[in-house]
Amino acid sequence: MTVQTFVNKKAKQLCFYLRSFWQGELPIEEIELFFWDSMEEWGQIEYTFTQPYTYKERVFWHLLHQVHFWQEDKLRSDKYLVDELMNCVLFLEGKGHCPIDCVGIRP
């Protein structure tokens, strides 16, 4: 699997999980499991350190790290954070502009 294929697949899943979480249909534990499963799958991807990032990849890693970093109550109720994360979701879904403040990097 290529980096691009991985990011495309996982970005779609991450957006689905986050929307479900915000709608109260998915517990935070499922997002945590998704995070660790993604890290495990990433360990199987072959890439070089000189391989360039796409904007989509940077936003994906930023979003994934943010949902792992923040506590559940902050992810649900902090309007500023939710708005920032929703902008990332919209971009990953092809419905928004690339957020300029995303600094996601590969693990």
Q: pLDDT band for position 43 (50/70/90)?
A: very high
Measured between alpha carbons, how far is residue 89 from residues 12, 18, 79, 94, 98 in Å? 9, 8, 15, 9, 10
Residue 47 has pLDDT above 90, yes or no: no
Q: pLDDT band for position 106 (50/70/90)?
A: very high
3-state secondary structure of 75: helix
Q: pLDDT band for position 1 (50/70/90)?
A: confident
Q: What is the pLDDT of residue 80?
A: 97
By the 8 A CB rule, do 57 and 104 touch? yes
Residue 48 has pLDDT above 90, yes or no: no
Predicted TM-score (pTM) of this structure: 0.94
Q: pLDDT band for position 36 (50/70/90)?
A: very high
